[in-house]
Structure formats: structure tokens, C-alpha cells
């Protein structure tokens, strides 16, 4: 996934690597771009970190961090892909009459068989195999065993 940055990362890192002090604080643009870049990397800087690295007071650092956060959220809201709103739970998106599916099915619907243990297959005599012993009645079974 490509992420947009306000300036090339090399320039941002080069500007941040310069020695900034209270007597020579970093320009707001440098701090803004560095904070944006850090937040995109998943490591949002703290106000103390910004104040120490760029020669700012903690108040100005906190203000800039908040501004960058608001701008990033606005950027994401405007330019991220829109997702369709989810339907409320409990309310179907279409009526349950199934007329909208009539021309789309490839196979006829299966017949309902309450004796079937599973909806995919019905129990019939054609798909069960019985041995000779299972078909015999009780009397025939006794006779069968006597003959053996």
C-alpha cells in the first residue's frame, strides 16, 4: 500500500537531523512534516520528544502534534476509499420473498424431506444397500441360523 507523504522522506530526515536548540528552533514546516512522517510510520511522537529534538516548548509541540493529527484525520476522511454503510442488524436489505433470485439459480430447489438427517441428501431406498441378513424377518433369521 502506498502512503502519501508531504515531502520526500530523505528531506524530512535530513531536516530533522540538524541540531535545533531553543536559540535556533526548527521551522514549523520541518516539525509538521516530521510529525506527519512519524505518525505514518506508526510511532506518533510525544510532546517532550518534539520539544527536545526541535528546540520548541512543550506547549508548542503539543499544539503542533494536535494540528497534524487533525490534518491527517481530515486527509484520510477525504481521500480514503469509501465503504458502503452496513445494514442495520435485524433488518434485511431486501424483502424475503426470494422473487429476485428466480432467474439466477442454476439448479431446481431440493424437495423438503423431513426424514432426511441432512438437507443436502434425502434418504431413499436407492441410496442404501442392505445385506441379505438385514432383510430377513425374525423367524427367517432363526431358520437361517439353524441351517448354519
- Cell reading at 41: 510510520
Residue in the block written with cell 536548540: 21
Q: What is the pLDDT of residue 132?
A: 54
Q: Which residues contact 4 (CB under 8 A, 6 or more apart)?
A: 75, 79
Q: Mean pLDDT across the stretch 111-132?
A: 55
**How large is the C-alpha radius of gyration of the chain?**
37
Lowest mean per-residue pLDDT among 24-28, 38-42, 82-86: 82-86
Reduced to 3 states, what is the DSSP secondary structure of residue 121? strand
Average pLDDT, the chain: 75
Q: What is the pLDDT of residue 103?
A: 59
Whether the pTM exceeds 0.85: the reply is no
pLDDT digits (tens, 9 = 90+) for 74-98: 888 887 777 656 655 655 555 566 6
Amino acid at each position: 500500500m502506498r502512503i502519501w507523504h508531504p515531502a520526500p522522506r530523505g528531506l524530512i530526515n535530513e531536516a530533522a537531523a540538524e541540531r535545533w536548540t531553543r536559540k535556533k528552533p526548527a521551522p514549523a514546516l520541518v516539525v509538521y512534516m516530521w510529525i506527519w512522517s512519524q505518525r505514518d510510520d506508526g510511532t506518533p511522537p510525544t510532546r517532550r520528544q518534539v520539544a527536545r529534538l526541535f528546540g520548541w516548548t512543550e506547549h508548542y509541540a503539543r499544539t503542533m502534534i494536535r494540528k497534524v493529527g487533525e490534518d491527517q484525520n481530515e486527509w484520510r476522511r477525504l481521500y480514503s476509499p469509501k465503504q458502503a454503510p452496513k445494514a442495520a442488524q435485524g433488518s434485511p436489505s431486501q424483502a424475503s420473498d426470494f422473487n429476485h433470485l428466480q432467474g439466477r439459480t442454476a439448479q431446481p430447489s431440493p424437495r423438503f424431506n423431513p426424514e432426511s438427517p441432512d438437507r443436502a441428501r434425502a434418504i431413499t431406498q436407492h441410496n442404501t444397500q442392505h445385506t441379505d441378513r438385514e432383510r430377513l424377518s425374525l423367524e427367517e433369521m432363526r431358520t437361517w441360523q439353524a441351517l448354519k
